Structures are given as C-alpha cells and as structure tokens.
Amino acid sequence: SQQGEEDPQALSIQEGENATMNCSYKTSINNLQWYRQNSGRGLVHLILIRSNEREKHSGRLRVTLDTSKKSSSLLITASRAADTASYFCATDPFRTSGSRLTFGEGTQLTVNP
Amino acid sequence: DGGITQSPKYLFRKEGQNVTLSCEQNLNHDAMYWYRQDPGQGLRLIYYSQIVNDFQKGDIAEGYSVSREKKESFPLTVTSAQKNPTAFYLCASSTLLGKYQETQYFGPGTRLLVL
C-alpha cells in the first residue's frame, strides 16, 4: 500500500489565499519530500525535510513534519494561478538496505484568478 | 545543459507488440527509476537501478523489463505480457546518500497508448 496519503484529494481556492495540503504516512522515515506536477508533465522537486527537522521554508512554501503523528503539511502562501498543479508527498521509509521513494496519490490544487 | 530526457513523447503500441521507452540522464546520478502514472493517480514504481548492470523490481514489474548497461541510460521495455499498458511513464534519477533517498529529478514523461 502507499506509504504517503495526501489530504484533501482536491482543493480549490482564490488567488491570494493560502493553500494547505497534508500528508500522512505509516512507518518511520529518513526523510519526506514534496513534489509538484503540472498537467501532463514530469514532477518537480519542491522541498526535502529530514526526520530530525520540524520545519523548512522555501520562498512561499512552508513544510512541517511531525514524526510523532507521522504527518507533514505543505503550506503555499499568497497563492497564484500559476500554482495550479498536483502536489505529491513522497517518503523515504527507514530501512536497512535498498533505497526508493513511495509516493502518495496527490492533491490537485486549483487557484482561481 | 544537464537534465534527464525521455523519448518519445507519445508512443503507440499494437496488440502483441513490445515497445521500448528511452531514458537518458547527464547528471552523473547513480540511481535511476521508472514509474507508471494512471489518470488522476500517484506514481507506482516499476523498476529501479542503483548501479550499472543491476536493477530491482518495484511494485508493478510484471510485464515490464529493463536494462542498465550504461550509467546514463535506463530503457524500459513494455512487453506483450503487460495487458493494460496505457499510462504515463516517468523516468527519474537521483544521487544516493548511503541508504538515504535524495531528491529525484524527473524526465518529461512518455504517454503510451494502445491501438
């Protein structure tokens, strides 16, 4: 089963509003990553947060990580129409060997002008 | 100009035919990955490779095959055994920090359609 699950599945907001997306996961992780995908395109990496970090910022993006609740959130402030895309969280589960990410189903964000 | 490329952008497969999707990277990354994405869904891992001449099955490897003869290249063959191949295929590459998974860089994708 998928390690990460995003919530909500879809989010529609007005330009200028903030958008918050959540990700929950099941097992211990090394790190959690957020990616963005425009329709019909490849994924673009946004932020990587390690298991010993609680918050990271990048421009208008803020990511939090709560390992006790096994959850993360992505906040996009002052949203723009160009932020319309699907957003995925991906986890690097803690393991002794092998290395792979497990992606969630994504949140479709629509920012209306 | 560094990056990861996939070709073709669109690929049509006839029933019973094997087709090969190309993935090339010039980022000097050790690890490469193939994902399948169905409409409105997330990514599912098909195969991945952490070193030349070695690769591992992902979650949905049945009906697919790969090779890793060069560090820069990781082609995916969709065989006739894959009964439902219509999907968007994404290739990615990354460095590896020990056993930790670092940022993955994605290609633009190949959309495979069945005639």
**Each residue of B27-64: pLDDT tens digit?**
999 999 999 999 988 999 999 999 999 999 999 999 99
Tell me: pLDDT of A98 over 80.
Answer: no
| Identity of the residue numbered B67 | S
Supply the pLDDT for residue A2.
Answer: 47
Q: Residue B24, Cβ neighbours under 10 Å: how many?
A: 18
> Which residue in chain A has the smallest CA separation from B60?
A1
Lowest mean pLDDT of A90-104, B7-21, B93-107, name the range: A90-104
Torsion A1-A44-B37-B25 (CA) sign: negative
Supply the pLDDT for residue B97.
Answer: 74
Say whether residue A41 is in contact with chain B using an 8 A CB cutoff.
Answer: yes
Average pLDDT over residues A24-36: 93
Chain B positions touching chain A (beta carbons under 8 Å): 31, 33, 35, 40-45, 48, 50, 56, 58, 88, 90, 92, 96, 99-109, 111
Alpha-carbon distance of A102 to A4, in angstroms, equals 7
Peptide bond preceding B85 in cis form (omega within 30 of 0): no
> Which residue in chain B has the smallest CA separation from A91?
B101
- Residue A3's pLDDT band, with cuts at 50, 70 and 90, is low
Residues of A with Cβ-Cβ distance to B33 under 8 angstroms: 100
Vertex A41: Cα angle to A36 and A42 (nearest 5): 60
Contact across the interface for B96 and A99, Cβ inside 8 Å: yes
Lowest mean pLDDT of A59-68, B11-20, B66-75, name the range: B11-20
Mutation target for A interface from B23, B38, B43: give the one with most A CBs within 10 A: B43
Choose between B100 and A34: higher pLDDT. A34
Residues sharing a CB contact under 8 Å with residue B111, sequence separation 6 or more, in sequence order: A40, B9, B10, B11, B87, B88, B89
Supply the pLDDT for residue B1.
Answer: 54
Tell me: pLDDT of A57 over 80.
Answer: yes
Say whether residue A96 is in contact with chain B using an 8 A CB cutoff.
Answer: yes
The percent of residues above 70 in pLDDT, for chain A, comes to: 94
